[in-house]
Amino acid sequence: MKKIVFILMVAQISCKQNSQAHPPVGGVLSQNDLSVSRERMKNLNTLERNQIQQWIGGQTEKFYPTKLNYWVNIEDYDKREKRQDNSLISYQYDLYDFDQIKIYEQSIERKEVKFGHFDELKAVEDALRYIRDGEVVTLLVPSSLAYGTYGDEKKIDNDVPLIIKLKAL
């Protein structure tokens, strides 16, 4: 019994030492906190862009940068005619890490979604504006346009760039 009490006390003390202070929900961050956060995201984005460009250099397939800061395997992709708000689209996509390991067994699929009225990863939503029916495109996406600093709270950790294979159905 004494061992259990001792283990619980050690665990409680160690948890208290590693806890981080977070502003309350709805709390206000100082200008310094905002500057630190902005600088962190800028540095992370630069690092991820360099890593993605190095990865592209080792591939046989070509990838092209887009205006929104992700890459796609079709040249001049974001110069195509853009789908308008309120138009419908059905699509699916698979997520991979940069070791090309599929993250989820099942594809993420949406049917008859109306542009301007759905919430999707920023890069996916942007790429869907330019995709043609039946087309499959590969996106290389920095974490800021994927699941960002929080991850998806399931299998994707924070600050993870992704490969997204997107298909218009």
pLDDT in tens, 140-152: 999 999 998 888 9
- pLDDT > 70: what percent of the chain? 83
For residues 23 and 96, which has the higher predicted lDDT (pLDDT)? 96
Tally of domains within the chain: 1
- pLDDT attached to residue 36: 77
For the cut 80, the answer to whether the pLDDT of residue 62 exceeds it is yes
In the sheet where 64-65 sits, what is the strand order? 64-65, 71-72, 136-141, 162-168, 88-96, 108-114
What is the CATH classification number for the domain harbouring 74?
A: 3.10.50.40
28 located within any domain: no
Rg (CA), the chain: 21
- Is 25 a domain residue? no
Question: Which pLDDT band, with edges at 50, 70 and 90, does 74 fall under?
Answer: very high
Residue 127 domain flag: yes
Q: Is the separation of the CB atoms in 162 and 100 below 8 Å?
A: no
pLDDT tens track for 28-59: 667 777 777 778 888 888 889 999 999 999 99
Per the structure, the complete domain to which residue 132 belongs is given by 35-168
Q: How many residues does the chain have?
A: 169
Residue 126 lies in a domain: yes
Give CA–CA dist 139/108, Å, rounded: 15
Q: Does the residue 17 lie in any domain? A: no
Q: What is the pLDDT of residue 5?
A: 41
Tokens of 59: 């591939």
CA–CA dist 8, 4 (Å, integer):
6
Residue 116 within any structural domain of the chain: yes
